[in-house]
Amino acid sequence: MELSIIASGSNGNCYHLQSGGASVLFDAGKGFSETAGRMALMGKEIREVDGIVLSHAHGDHYQGIGPIARRLAIPVYVRKEVYESCRRKLGPLDIRHFEGEFRIKDLAITPIETSHDVTSCGFVVGCFGMFTDTGCVTSQMKEAIRDLDAVLLESNYDEEMLMNGPYPRLLKERILSARGHLSNDDASDFISRHGSHLSMVFLAHLSGQNNTAEKVREAFESLNGDRPYVVCSRSRQTGTYLLNGEIRGQDMFSLP
């Protein structure tokens, strides 16, 4: 199975998994042209995508879904709890809902509870997990990570930068809450306590205002030493990775 990190950050998120005959986008926070262009740079063809899976209905995760799904005439998969609201927001699309495990061709996808200020979830696909937009580490995340070989995990903010930054107090409180986002320290602690067996960690969804790649690296290495990891880029595609620890085409420690 291959993971392509197309976009990651508070300015847009989109991840691509390909295995056997299946080609699936997880979230679509960029438009058709930008998504297609970034995929092409990684040797991927957007017209081969079989469907889009939505983690939650915030703009940085779903604003590209309508244009992409309509252009490709592909289904969109959402949680049952948000099916009706997504139909209203996204218009006349083939929208399908899931509760437990579901399949898109060769990919068996299991939703995992996260904790955000809207209905949200992460996903496990085989021995790979994706957990972003969660204010705390949930019990399902702790249970799921035991069986994973690689994980893509939110490392959204540096707490000192957030507290000293320009955001209004209420927004800071939302981000810091159990229904907000994981800090660099939260993410690093989760991996240190529960992910000692992982062969690869992707640190994702960095804030543009309240984080830097260097801050992420400092926090992660302080608790996890020389464990292999990637800090996902906010400004471009990060790369394509075989989910067996092999890295292709990127310096795994120093992405901008």
Q: What is the pLDDT of residue 60?
A: 84
Contact 154, 116 (CB under 8 A): no
Classify 58 as helix, strand or coil. coil
What CA–CA distance (Å, rounded) separates 241 from 246? 7
Q: What is the pLDDT of residue 207?
A: 96
pTM score of the predicted model: 0.93
Q: What is the pLDDT of residue 56?
A: 84
Q: What is the pLDDT of residue 254?
A: 37
Q: What is the pLDDT of residue 87?
A: 80
> What type of residue sits at position 163?
M
Contact 148, 198 (CB under 8 A): yes
Sign of the CA dihedral 80, 84, 85, 90?
positive
What CA–CA distance (Å, rounded) separates 96 from 138? 26
Positions in the chain whose pLDDT score sits under 70? 244-256
Contact 99, 119 (CB under 8 A): no
Supply the Cα-derived Rg of the chain in whole angstroms: 17
Which distant-in-sequence residues (6+ apart) come within 8 Å of 61 by Cβ?
A: 13, 27, 28, 29, 54, 55, 133
Going along the chain from its start, the domains and CATH numbers come out as 2-248 (3.60.15.10)
Q: What is the pLDDT of residue 88?
A: 81
Give backbone dihedrals phi and psi of 18, rounded to 5 degrees, phi first: -135, 130
Per DSSP, 8 falls in state -
Residues 190-205 have pLDDT tens digits of 999 999 899 999 999 9
